[in-house]
Structure 1
Amino acid sequence: MADIYDILIIGGGPGGYVAAIRAAQLGFKTAIVEREHLGGICLNWGCIPTKALLRSAEVYHYAEHAEDYGLKIAKPDFDIADVVKRSRGISAQLNGGVGFLMKKNKVDVIWGEAKITKAGKGGPVEVSVGTMQKPIVEPQNPIPKGVLGEGSYKAKHVIVATGARPRVLPGIEPDGDRIWTYFEAMKPKTMPKSLIVMGSGAIGIEFASFYRTMGAEVTVVELLPQIMPVEDGEIAALARKALEKQGIKILTDTKVTNVTKSGEGVTVEAEGKDGAKQTLSAERLISAIGVQGNSEGFGLQEMGVAIDRGIVTVDGFGRTNVEGIYAIGDVAGPPMLAHKAEHEGTICVEKIKGLDVHPMKKERIPGCTYCQPQVASVGLTEAKAKESGRAVKVGRFKFQGNGKAIALGEPEGMVKTIFDAKTGELLGAHMVGAEVTELIQGFVIAMGLETTEEELMHTVFPHPTLSEMMHESVLDAYGRVIHM
């Protein structure tokens, strides 16, 4: 029997390993149970490797359009195996980095599958760890054969950070061959000539953008009226226009009613809102209809932990209804984003320590989609702000009025800001265009500091930068725009 830990975390993804590091910093004896690979889906199969793929696509795009910049380059080509190899190598490097951080912070890593066997009534939580028989996906690096593994462990507090997995629709189950999830889309053995993407959230649109840039014919099918359904309608419309200009076919208000596979590919039967039907064919189908929390198999149900539609019910500090058990990250509900999980982990352990912490304000969590052009947002959309009954002031500034954007050869895009007309509170900021995923943090900080329009208008932004458009958008909301 191992010593009793102060905090034991099930899952070594962004939420889990960040919570572990913060716990160690606060003096807690800490351990992580991980069954496959440190860094979780984000580092190994999501956030990081997709950005590596998209970077390769971006460089390829610029090489193809070198003449637009006064350069002459022979027609570029690529080997998809090398593109994938680079992506996987980056993930492996960062995976090893997380292992180093665990060692540096003296966090024990216990390899295997965890199950909570006892909790509540003021005693320690007991967790049994069994050997992982078959990984869900192959680990990036070999699992170390350390001392800690199969056995029984106790902890005063157990944090469940088990993440999520791709949602699957009956009849459209991924087979790893013709029907893909993001796992298979991340490492194609050959480059498909045609592709259907079912779902237009961040995952679907990023893969649509990657494969189209690399030369595949891509069709996106979305059940709702708007692509990127969580984004501001005006921004989503501009993104759609840009993606269609690149040759991506987009069908909204359309549901997939049937999928059949053949030796040549897949055939998709789709039906529009008006009842009109059409048949689509492609070599591959990517199912990107969202994810569902990994709340089964860890003993949560047996312990009486409240779970709603696969999501563990928690308060603002990650506490469940069962004493000693907490949940953070994707398994604790949307938005299912790595940076949300990391901050939840920090809040959770700081609350356990007894520090004066505040619950996370989910409306201040930024979202980013790394397609071309990029999309980023924080806060309320214009429609949601108006639905709340507020009078609003809306500012807009287009990329074509910004000198840096023109110099970069990226004149398409817009920055949109939404303010409370009475108080000047920044309610939301939404962007589409080059590098907006790097710009959005400025508005996130402003919202966190409860900055008003006056303070933003009197902030000096450097020239020439894309960030100047943030300033101009604020000015536009109050009739003071300069360069448009």
Structure 2
Amino acid sequence: MVKKTITAKDIILSPGSIPFVPPGIEVDGKTVFTSDQGVKLESLPDWVAIIGSGYIGLEFSDIYSALGCEITMIEALDQLMPGFDRDIAKLAERVLITPRDIETKVGIYAKKVIPGSPVVIELANFKTKEDVEVIEVDACLVATGRIPATKNLGLESVGVEVDRRNFIPVDDRMAVLSAGEVVPNLWAIGDANGKMMLAHAASAQGIIAVENIVGRERIVDYRSIPAAAFTHPEVSYVGLTETAAKELGQTEGFEIATSRSYFKGNSKALAENEADGIAKVIYRKDTGEVLGVHIFGLHASDLIHEASAAIANRQSVQSLAHLVHAHPTLSEVLDEAYKRAAI
């Protein structure tokens, strides 16, 4: 192996992430596979177990069920879609899971997964760890999130230690930290720093890092970065969930309120025959500042950017309620939610 030394004034680390495979699960890439391998299957299994009901599990269950697969979704926590706002998750479950050929097991984890034909999965209660049952399926997708690919980077040579989850510590400027102090000319972006494991967040961090390298001080406003699950219909959100907003309010001494509007009252959604959906706005009662927006419905991943801009500019529902939206468009769902909040 030929060694090569490259020198530079500044170095940006961007090693990305890899799928996380919990202990007890054996992956063979064919009958038991991760999301990286799940998009390259040579044939469709009749019955697929999906471990995890977050973004990855939800999107793959949407695709596989649409293609005719029977699904068993296994979620270790006590509710499906644990990372989503509860109002959104309830409606999404009713639309994306309940009417489809998807069986759900909640509060259950895969203690052991053995590849083969069939795939054997030993299930146990997540809280008590007691064995529950053994199921046999045609294939198993392990959708339990991703972990940073930070091994063997030589970080120790510059005195940098990854945290307990193997993320590279950085400040808001994307500068790498060692014992809380900035390591000169070393930056880390994307999944490897764990701030927000989204492709567009990584891109934004890269821009912020370069801005700081050239002397233009900038930081990332994570609250205004949107996220989306590309199901049919889509799920999207930006900012805080209602639970997180309440916790912030208790800490900083303010009350929150919420406003909702529904796609079934939107003429464009009705014309598209896609009337399942909701938009939820979370805001401060005192100032009206928007803290979070959550959407489930047709083109939710596109609609969320108006809310993202509003949060980035710390706008209030009172000011947003006076914006004019074209009619008939799906954007009127947000317009209606802002107006209801401002009443």
| TM norm structure 1 | 0.66
- The residue number in structure 2 matching 1:416 is 280
Match for 1:204 among 57, 61, 66?
Answer: 57
Q: CA separation of 1:343/1:188 partners in 2, compared to 1, >3 Å: closer, same or farther?
A: same
Q: 1:271·1:278 contact (CA, 8 Å) conserved in 2?
A: no
Structure 1 distance, partners of 2:321, 2:223, is 23
Distance 2:174 2:26 in 1: 32
Q: CA deviation at 1:276?
A: 7.6
Partner of residue 283, structure 1: 138
- Where structure 1 has 5 or more consecutive residues not aligned to the other structure, the ranges are 1-129, 132-149, 480-484
CA contact (8 A) 1:306 1:320 kept: no
Tell me, in whole angstroms, the C-alpha distance in 1 between the residues paired with 2:273 and 2:135.
Answer: 35
Amino acid at match of 2:199: A
Confirm or deny that 1:226 pairs with 2:79: yes
The answer to whether the 8 Å contact 2:117/2:138 transfers is no
> What's 1:267 paired with?
121
Q: Equivalents in 1 of 2:341, 2:247: separation in Å? A: 19
Match of 1:318 in 2: 174
Does residue 349 in structure 1 map to residue 210 in structure 2?
Answer: yes
Give the aligned partner of residue 107 of structure 2.
253
Residue 84 of structure 2 aligns to a residue whose secondary structure is coil
Contact residue 51 and residue 73 of structure 2 kept, 8 A: yes
Distance in 2 separating the partners of 1:277 and 1:469: 44
**8 Å contact kept, 1:270–1:277:** yes
The reply on whether 1:373 has 2:233 as its aligned counterpart is yes
Q: Which letter maps to 1:158?
A: I
Partner deviation per Cα, 1:67-126 (whole Å, 9 max, x = no partner): xxxxxxxxxxxxxxxxxxxxxxxxxxxxxxxxxxxxxxxxxxxxxxxxxxxxxxxxxxxx
SS for the counterpart of 1:151 is: coil
1:237 to 57, 65, 90: 90
Tell me the equivalent position of 1:55: none
Aligned residue runs from structure 1 range 155-166, under 5 A = 155-166=8-19
Structure 2 Cα separation of the partners of residues 158 and 272 of structure 1: 42
What is the correspondence of 1:51-66 to structure 2 with a 5 Å cutoff? none
Match of 1:21 in 2: none
Structure 1 distance, partners of 2:205, 2:52, is 27
Question: 2-side partners of 1:227 and 1:365: how far apart?
Answer: 23
Helix, strand or coil for the counterpart of 1:320?
Answer: strand
Pairs within 5 Å for 1:85-234: 151-234=4-87
Q: Structure 1 residue 221: deviation in Å?
A: 0.9
Residue 48 (structure 1) aligns with: none
Higher-Rg structure is 1
CA distance in 2, matches of 1:338, 1:260: 32
In 2, Cα distance between equivalents of 1:454 and 1:471: 11
Aligned to 2:188: 327
Q: Distance in 2 between matches of 1:177 and 1:263?
A: 10
* Aligned mates of 1:154, 1:166 — CA distance in 2: 31
C-alpha offsets along residues 409-455 of structure 1, whole Å, 9 cap, x if unaligned? 11111000011000010010001111100100000011112211111
How many angstroms apart in 2 are the aligned matches of 1:247 and 1:400?
25
Say whether 1:301 aligns with 2:151.
no
Q: Structure 1 CA distance, aligned partners of 2:72 and 2:34?
A: 16
Pairing 1:434-445 to 2, within 5 Å after superposition: 434-445=298-309
Structure 2: distance between partners of 1:260 and 1:175: 9
Which residue identity does 1:159 align to in structure 2?
I
SS at match of 1:221: strand
The AA in structure 1 aligned to 2:114 is: T
Deviation at 1:187, TM superposition (A): 1.0
Following the alignment from structure 1 to structure 2, what is the Cα–Cα distance between the partners of residues 199 and 301?
34
> 1:334: Cα distance to partner?
3.1
User: Does the CA contact (< 8 Å) of 1:270 and 1:280 recur in 2?
Assistant: no
1:470 counterpart SS class: helix
- SS of 1:238's partner is helix
Equivalent residue, structure 1, for 2:265: 401
Q: Distance in 1 between matches of 2:216 and 2:121?
A: 56
Note if 1:428 corresponds to 2:283: no
Task: Report the alpha carbon displacement of residue 408 of structure 1 after superposing the two structures with TM.
Answer: 0.5
Tell me by how many angstroms 1:352 deviates: 1.0
Distance 1:268 1:323 in 2: 49
Equivalents in 1 of 2:105, 2:260: separation in Å? Answer: 27
Amino acid at match of 1:299: G
What is the root-mean-square deviation of aligned Cα atoms in Å? 1.7
- 2:246–2:255 CA contact under 8 A, matched in 1: yes
Give the whole-Å Cα distance in 2 for the aligned partners of 1:464 and 1:187: 40
Given that residues 123 and 131 in structure 2 are in contact (C-alpha distance below 8 angstroms), is that contact kept between their aligned partners in structure 1? no
Cα separation, 2, equivalents of 1:247 and 1:434 = 22
- 1:253 and 1:218 map into 2 onto residues whose CA distance is 17
Structure 1, residues 22-47: CA drift from partner, whole Å, max 9, x if none? xxxxxxxxxxxxxxxxxxxxxxxxxx
Q: Per the alignment, do residues 393 and 478 of structure 1 end up closer, same or farther by CA in structure 2, a change over 3 Å counting?
A: farther
Deviations 1:274-294 (A, max 9, x none): 768233321111111111111
> Does the Cα contact within 8 Å between 2:191 and 2:198 map onto a contact in 1?
yes
* Aligned equivalents of 1:178, 1:191: Cα separation in 2: 11
Once the 2 structures are TM-superposed, how far is the Cα of residue 268 of structure 1 from its aligned partner? Answer: 3.7
More helix by share: 1
- Residues of 1 paired with 2:294 and 2:194: CA distance? 23
Q: Deviation at 1:266?
A: 3.1
Contact 2:119 2:139 in 1 (8 A): yes
